[in-house]
Chains A and B, each alone.
Chain A
Amino acid sequence: DQQVKQNSPSLSVQEGRISILNCDYTNSMFDYFLWYKKYPAEGPTFLISISSIKDKNEDGRFTVFLNKSAKHLSLHIVPSQPGDSAVYFCAASDESSASKIIFGSGTRLSIRP
């Protein structure tokens, strides 16, 4: 039973437009959420995170939104750039077990010219 779900295996967005990646979770104990980006032949790299006490966190072109009542988070990338083409993983943990981070199955984002 997947606790963190990314229901879209792939997404294609035109360069310059907004990319929206979605993630749902089932465990109400999760209180810290992260997004990772992964290029082929490399390890995942941390992108942005959000604590459950917030509903939005911005870092440059990247914004993560958290809707606790819906157990849903999303990553917005605007404007999308060719270098954003990668696999994006959503992840979650709870403070009592910060070393146990659960990942989703990933969404492959392709930015087309």
Chain B
Amino acid sequence: EAQVTQNPRYLITVTGKKLTVTCSQNMNHEYMSWYRQDPGLGLRQIYYSMNVEVTDKGDVPEGYKVSRKEKRNFPLILESPSPNQTSLYFCASSDNYGYTFGSGTRLTVV
């Protein structure tokens, strides 16, 4: 089944403790992206990648890092999480005709 898989689905962590949210796609898509969803703000793009080793900042990149060492994986790294990064995160991949999204990771930073 074609899908985008992100883990974990839920995560509660403390301020400053580094964490990684993993994302993997099995559709051989070139494009991948991370979004966060917040009430009243919709989906805002954090980072995106056009291919292996090619990444760029989206609209809200501060406090996040990404890497694209393999085509199928695009992890999101929070080096020092803060409470304002509490949000619902979505990974997505695309073949240039619109993104396919994962099921989301709800992150709470206390």
Query: Which of B40, B56, B99, B103 lies in contact with A101, CB distance below 8 A?
Result: B99
Query: Which of A49, A98, A99, A102 lies in contact with B49, CB distance below 8 A?
Result: A99
A103 on the interface (CB 8 Å rule)? yes
CB-defined contacts of B44 to chain A, threshold 8 Å: 103
Q: Is the CB of B42 within 8 A of A44?
A: no
Q: Is the CB of B31 within 8 A of A89?
A: no
Query: Which of B42, B94, B98, B101 lies in contact with A104, CB distance below 8 A?
Result: B42
B102 on the interface (CB 8 Å rule)? yes
Query: Which of B56, B59, B98, B101 lies in contact with A43, CB distance below 8 A?
Result: B101
Q: Is the CB of B45 within 8 A of A101?
A: yes
CB-defined contacts of B84 to chain A, threshold 8 Å: none
Query: Which of A9, A34, A99 lies in contact with B31, CB distance below 8 A?
Result: A99
Q: Is the CB of B42 within 8 A of A106?
A: yes
Residues of A19-67 at the interface with B, using a CB-CB cut-off of 8 Å, are: 34, 36, 41-46, 49
Q: Is the CB of B42 within 8 A of A46?
A: no
B binding-site residues for A, Cβ under 8 Å: 4, 31-33, 35, 40-45, 48-50, 56, 58-59, 90, 92, 94, 96-104
Q: List 22 A-B contacts (CB under 8 A).
A: A6-B42, A36-B101, A41-B103, A43-B90, A43-B92, A43-B102, A43-B103, A43-B104, A44-B99, A46-B98, A49-B98, A98-B96, A99-B31, A99-B48, A101-B33, A102-B45, A102-B59, A103-B44, A103-B45, A104-B42, A105-B40, A106-B42
Given contacts A9-B40, A36-B101, A43-B102, 4 further A-B contacts (CB under 8 A): A43-B104, A45-B101, A46-B98, A99-B48
A binding-site residues for B, Cβ under 8 Å: 6, 9, 34, 36, 41-46, 49, 89, 91, 98-106
